[in-house]
Chains A and B, each alone.
Chain A
Amino acid sequence: MIFTSFVFVYFLAAVTVAYWALRRKSLQNVLLLVASYFFYGYVHPWFCWLIAGSTILDYLCGLGMARFPRWRGSLLLVSLTGNLGMLGVFKYFNFFADNVVAAMHGLGFEMSPVTARLFLPVGISFYTFQTLSYTIDIYRGLLEPRRNFVDFALFVAFFPQLVAGPIERATHFLPQIETPRRWNTDVFMSAWPLLIRGYLKKLVVADNVAVYADKVYLLDQPTALLLAAGTLAFAVQILADFSAYTDIARGAARLLGFELMENFDSPYLAISPSDFWRRWHISFSTWIRDYVYIPLGGSRAGSALAGALIVLASMGLSGLWHGAAWHFVVWGLYHALLLIIYRQLGMSGRWRPATRLGFAVAWAVMFLLTLAGWAIFRAPSLTWLAEAVSQMRLGLRGDPLVVASTIAALVGLYAAPLVVSLVLSRRASRRGPVSAIAFGLAVCLIVLFAQERGQDFIYFQF
């Protein structure tokens, strides 16, 4: 079930009414668990078996770690192997097999291609990381294992954030599941601005600019100007699309009395790579930081080289998480390289330029670097990007200029709600008259500008 379908609206309304009609927390949790499995298995019921398997495995591993402390390490290994194995089979098997065959071919050995027609279950990357945080935190002694299976299963499968995050931590979300929720009108009403903002971003901004990004990246040989315009369109699309999902997820969760973590903090206002990763997909970047970067040595690395290698490993993994293709890996490594260079230049961490001009220059440079990264990310393949760049014409006149200018102008037009939303969130009171009018206008914009045939959320494929 997808957020942009009317089926979801009915589903959410029915679940919300039934949920608040039930007084007892345990019954509410059972209802939410059933609803979450219905949500996840709505199109492909067999998805439910996968998430149930992952849930049972980590539930048992968690209990086992508490009961048999000597086997904590082995049980963590079982959890890691089980979850990452499932992710590996469904997401990376063909990628791995293709690359082995290609590597053997390079070495002079011929192997017949081994590919499996595996269908990637949506959200598997998200809930795998979420449930892994549970077992790892128990292993580290940061969390007590949960005995109530329903509560734990709901933590893994909670439908608002199941498919595309935010990736919640057990330490943050499990206590909310275990605590009785009381009806709070203010919390309930605060969900609506999030829902409206989410739908505005998805239906008006992301889906409309996607048309132009998709067209440019289908061209055999785009000119530099067209590639820049298409990449700008994609930059707006991916931010609007992904943050829309988070907004809708947070709004839906608030209707039920839950608070999910914020996933974005104006990432295109970042002035350095580390600043960018503090603002972009926060639940994922902090997961990588806490469960990969720091355990590998992180900022405590003995030498600059060791530190750089750890950053490369963490960001390479981060890229691979996004998809089983080399351009995602290179995108991750590209960001790793930026982090390393900025660190060498003394511009990492909470670095801030001293002057306004310096700030503006730092922002502009980082924005351009981010765009370059999105070109790698969005490119159909590295070969395509390499060919496009090596044979690229500037296209500063004629049709390419006209088309690139038109795309840039339309992207600017459709991105305007993002800017207005940002300004309002910083300037206007959330419950003041300006916000009420703005959200009224947002609903009108949704009706007037929503794409007839919208696209799936981008992060579904991850």
Chain B
Amino acid sequence: MLKRLASPTLFLFTLAAVTQALEPLTPALDPEAVRRVEDYRRALAMERPRVVLLGNSMLGHGVNEIHFSMRTGVHAIKMWDGGVAAAWNHLMIKNVLAEHPNRPEMVVVFFTDQYLTDATFRVHGQYKPRLDALRRPVEPLLDQLAYQKDRRDALAYLITDLWPLDRKREIVKPGVERFVKHRIGRALEMGGLGEVDAAIDRVFADSNLNVALFSKAQIEAMTAPADDRQDFGTLLNRSFLSSDIAMAQRAGIRLAFVRIKRVTAAEAQQAGRAVQNDYMSRYVADLRTYLESQGSLLLDFTQDPRLRVEHYGQGDHLNEQGRLLFTAMLAEALEGRLPEVRGDDAPFAELAQVREPIILEGPFKENSPGMWSAPLPNWAACSSNPRDTYRSVLELLEDGTPLGPRNAFMSDIRSHGAGRYVHWGGFVYFATSDNSDPNTNGRTYSYRFTLPP
């Protein structure tokens, strides 16, 4: 009898031992993600925005919230994180916006393609810590839709949620694969993990793939509705959308949705190709009908010809020119749909009072070699900040000529200089156009604000 029990005992002991051995790998909450959420809660408390723009880095790079607020007359702030999608939006609405005492009157949700109704998109890997920073201990809808766990499915739930080993999957598997890639990169003397990942991205770039070779399942997943999985009603049932709308309605928040244009759409337009196929057109029409039936609004910019390829910087991110243009387009499209303008509350009205460039008084402090700073305590509220590094509309001039690029990273100002600057907190940090000392080069430095026309 004992002999018969030995193997099962040893088997169970192994499971326990591995679980215990990997226990130290339990990920703590990502401090950066937690800080970002805290920033958003603080912004609601301190700035009391009436409109919140919610989305990923396409929103982050695509809209200037100061310009938007000045154009519309309604104070709006952006809340975004890189690459996030519907699940993050859902948790932000549920756990940050709807429950905050200073909740906004309106939330504008930005999305691309059909990801508004894809609950499983970007919920694993690097995106999971961002969701973990937002989630409550019990999130049945998130678990069911994003992670496809069903608490009624006891075995699945036992394995995937209660057994601590499952929570190591996010660390162990990517960690092992990263280790292998790193070793390959080193062995081939071409750098580390980043270079290997970049090489993989280049080799398997969309332009190198033959769409004709895609399997039926792959094509269906991307394009046509061959069965009910792609049907809008089914997609809706598997998404957070109806829940988000109901939750927002209960909290007295109006929702609007913005479908952003990707650079590929701009390229297709300029090449005379169709921006989207029939399926996506039907999807947008169905989505619009549904949102209108729920009292929400859909703005679809994917076909808008005003956004052209030259308005994009890196990938789908808009550049400075594109950002200003899209901000204007968005403000125009939302005209009459936003909360009413209050006469006594013109956001950033103080900026409009600056009509001529203001001389920046020296002496300038050298924070690190090549990077100088000057205090601007009166304009701290409209500077860029960790929540939005593209926020400031301050323009720095050297002898009356604009320097740039603005909103540069401090590391770039230090290493490259050449006129880069950033308006951060109560200071402007900058490098002169020829990296000379602004205290001794005899030039005059001034600033003004680029205001919407």
> Does A pair with B?
yes
A contacts, CB < 8 Å to B: 6, 9-10, 185, 215, 217-221, 226, 380, 384, 398-403, 405-406, 409-410, 413, 431-433, 435-437, 439-441, 443-444, 447-450, 452
- Asked if A406 and B11 make an inter-chain contact with CB atoms under 8 angstroms apart, the answer reads no
14 A-B interface contacts by CB (under 8 A) = A401-B188, A402-B185, A402-B195, A405-B187, A405-B188, A406-B196, A410-B177, A431-B7, A433-B6, A436-B10, A439-B14, A444-B15, A447-B169, A449-B169
Given contacts A401-B188, A402-B196, A405-B184, contact A218 B10 (CB under 8 A): no
Known: A413-B180, A437-B11, A440-B17. 19 other contacts (CB 8 A): A6-B153, A10-B155, A218-B204, A218-B214, A226-B203, A384-B213, A400-B203, A402-B195, A405-B188, A409-B180, A409-B183, A433-B6, A436-B9, A436-B11, A440-B14, A441-B14, A448-B165, A449-B172, A449-B173
A308–B374 CA distance with the chains assembled, in angstroms:
89
- Asked if B11 and A440 make an inter-chain contact with CB atoms under 8 angstroms apart, the answer reads yes
- Asked if B204 and A215 make an inter-chain contact with CB atoms under 8 angstroms apart, the answer reads yes
- Does B163 lie at the interface of the complex (its beta carbon under 8 Å from any beta carbon of A)? yes
A437–B15 CA distance with the chains assembled, in angstroms:
9
- Asked if B18 and A444 make an inter-chain contact with CB atoms under 8 angstroms apart, the answer reads yes
Could you say which of A220, A413, A431 contacts B210, with CB atoms under 8 Å apart?
A220
Shortest A52–chain B CB gap in Å is: 25
- Across the interface, name the chain B residue whose C-beta is closest to A381: B213
- Across the interface, name the chain A residue whose C-beta is closest to B19: A444
Q: Which residues of A contact B155 (CB under 8 A)?
A: 6, 9-10
Given contacts A218-B210, A410-B177, A449-B172, contact A437 B10 (CB under 8 A): yes
Shortest B343–chain A CB gap in Å is: 53
A270–B155 CA distance with the chains assembled, in angstroms:
40
Which residues of chain B in 172-205 are interfacial with respect to chain A, using CB atoms and an 8 Å cutoff? 172-173, 176-177, 180-181, 183-185, 187-188, 190, 195-196, 199-200, 202-204
Q: Which residues of B contact A435 (CB under 8 A)?
A: 7
- Asked if A406 and B173 make an inter-chain contact with CB atoms under 8 angstroms apart, the answer reads no
Q: Which residues of A contact B124 (CB under 8 A)?
A: 452
A403–B163 CA distance with the chains assembled, in angstroms:
35
- Across the interface, name the chain B residue whose C-beta is closest to A380: B213
Shortest B162–chain A CB gap in Å is: 12
- Does B13 lie at the interface of the complex (its beta carbon under 8 Å from any beta carbon of A)? yes
Q: Which residues of A contact B101 (CB under 8 A)?
A: none
Could you say which of B15, B169, B208 contacts A440, with CB atoms under 8 Å apart?
B15
- Across the interface, name the chain A residue whose C-beta is closest to B176: A413
Q: How many residues of B contact A (CB 8 A)?
A: 48
A461–B181 CA distance with the chains assembled, in angstroms:
33
- Asked if A448 and B210 make an inter-chain contact with CB atoms under 8 angstroms apart, the answer reads no
B contacts, CB < 8 Å to A: 4, 6-15, 17-19, 124, 153, 155-156, 159, 163, 165-166, 168-169, 172-173, 176-177, 180-181, 183-185, 187-188, 190, 195-196, 199-200, 202-204, 208-210, 213-214
- Across the interface, name the chain B residue whose C-beta is closest to A402: B199
Shortest B212–chain A CB gap in Å is: 8
**Smallest CB-CB A-B distances: 3 pairs:** A440-B14, A436-B10, A436-B7
Shortest B11–chain A CB gap in Å is: 5
A410–B182 CA distance with the chains assembled, in angstroms:
12
Q: Which residues of A contact B6 (CB under 8 A)?
A: 433, 436
- Asked if A448 and B203 make an inter-chain contact with CB atoms under 8 angstroms apart, the answer reads no
Given contacts A401-B188, A402-B185, contact A443 B196 (CB under 8 A): no
Q: Which residues of A contact B187 (CB under 8 A)?
A: 405
Could you say which of A403, A410, A431, A432 contacts B180, with CB atoms under 8 Å apart?
A410
- Across the interface, name the chain B residue whose C-beta is closest to A221: B208
- Asked if A406 and B180 make an inter-chain contact with CB atoms under 8 angstroms apart, the answer reads yes
A435–B181 CA distance with the chains assembled, in angstroms:
31
Given contacts A410-B177, A436-B7, contact A403 B209 (CB under 8 A): no
A433–B13 CA distance with the chains assembled, in angstroms:
11
Q: Which residues of B contact A384 (CB under 8 A)?
A: 210, 213
- Asked if A402 and B184 make an inter-chain contact with CB atoms under 8 angstroms apart, the answer reads yes
Q: Which residues of B contact A409 (CB under 8 A)?
A: 180, 183-184
Shortest A191–chain B CB gap in Å is: 13
Shortest A388–chain B CB gap in Å is: 10
- Across the interface, name the chain B residue whose C-beta is closest to A443: B15
A218–B7 CA distance with the chains assembled, in angstroms:
45
Q: Which residues of B contact A410 (CB under 8 A)?
A: 177, 180
Q: Which residues of B contact A436 (CB under 8 A)?
A: 6-11, 14
Q: Which residues of B contact A185 (CB under 8 A)?
A: 4
Given contacts A9-B155, A402-B190, A406-B184, contact A440 B204 (CB under 8 A): no
A409–B193 CA distance with the chains assembled, in angstroms:
14
Shortest B194–chain A CB gap in Å is: 12
- Across the interface, name the chain A residue whose C-beta is closest to B160: A447
Q: Which residues of B contact A439 (CB under 8 A)?
A: 11, 14
A227–B195 CA distance with the chains assembled, in angstroms:
21
